[in-house]
Amino acid sequence: MASLSGMRRREAVAFYLTISPWLIGLILFTAGPMLISLYVSFTDWDLLTAPTWVGLENYARLLDDPRLWQSLKVTVVYTAAYVPLELAGGLSLALLARPRLRGIGIFRTLYYLPSVLSGVAFVVVWLWLLNPRGGLFNLMLAQAGIPGPRWLLDPQWALPSLVLMSVWGWGRTMVIYLAGLQNIPAELHEAAAIDGADAWARLRTITLPLLTPTIFFNLILSLISTFQTFTSAFVATDGGPLDSTLFFVLYIYRQAFQFLNMGYASALAWLLFAIILALTLIIFRSQDFWVYYGGERAE
């Protein structure tokens, strides 16, 4: 018994030594800053002087801030438009990239590479493509006799333009869908084909139901990432024109590093955390009705 206890102790020590880099990083760069930001959200702090305790004043200010509600509206509209497009578009690409054809690896690579490029780099490319004067898109529209819009310079077109720019991120979703498709037994499709089911019927009755765990996973990732959209709006439009692309995280950045309202910015960040957490919990609760694991409904 003594030797067994000593072995378990050595295994525990080895385990904690192995995870210690991650654990230290979690405490120093995630949990620690979160706790500090929670404290700062109850203070008035401009980074230059000592923070002053103001209690719930920053949270009360949230209710009367019109730009906050504008940024939340922009973020919600963007999320509602982009998330379904990413889920459907990524699945379509995965279905196209699934067959083992010659050169299919090149197709997969071409669609996945943009998703790992620097955010600033791909935004700069899109700024050229969407340039109202001489941009590739407007030149193509001009060839067809259609006057091109002003894209990122027009309040009505700026947010749809950012949605269009984000299409480049479908490669990440495609790869996850491919992994999910490979877990679907080929025998099910073969049996359905023998019974006379066409490709559409097999997709609807076999592929999609068994792929719901992967769809669920992509839905959570996409929701969280879109609510944290920052780079594309910051580089391409800086929230303009007329606050039509003022995303929530961009507004947090402005309050923190342009206006030096660190207390109010921290309160905004915790509001965003609460919104994402609430939506994530709702989606988790909804999986009982539409997500299937091994042919059975999730419990």
Three-class SS string for 163-206? Answer: HHHHHHHHHHHHHHHHHHHHCCCHHHHHHHHHCCCCHHHHHHHH
Distance of alpha carbon 44 from alpha carbon 260, whole angstroms: 10
pLDDT attached to residue 2: 55
DSSP state of 99: S
pLDDT attached to residue 250: 97
Distance of alpha carbon 82 from alpha carbon 166, whole angstroms: 8
Instruction: Output the pTM of the full model.
Output: 0.89
* Region at 49 (left for phi over 0; alpha for psi -120 to 50; beta for the rest): beta
CA 229, 233, 239, 240 torsion: positive or negative? negative
Segments of the chain with pLDDT less than 70: 1-4, 6, 101, 103, 118, 294-299
pLDDT attached to residue 251: 97
pLDDT attached to residue 294: 66
DSSP state of 113: G
pLDDT attached to residue 59: 96
pLDDT attached to residue 204: 87
pLDDT attached to residue 299: 46
For the chain, domain boundaries: 56-297
pLDDT attached to residue 198: 86
CATH superfamily of 56-297: MetI-like (1.10.3720.10)
Answer yes or no: are the C-beta atoms of 174 and 108 closer than 8 Å: yes
State in Å, rounded, how far the first CA of the chain is from the last one: 40
- Which amino acid belongs to residue 8? R
CA 125 to the chain's CA centroid: 21
pLDDT attached to residue 298: 46
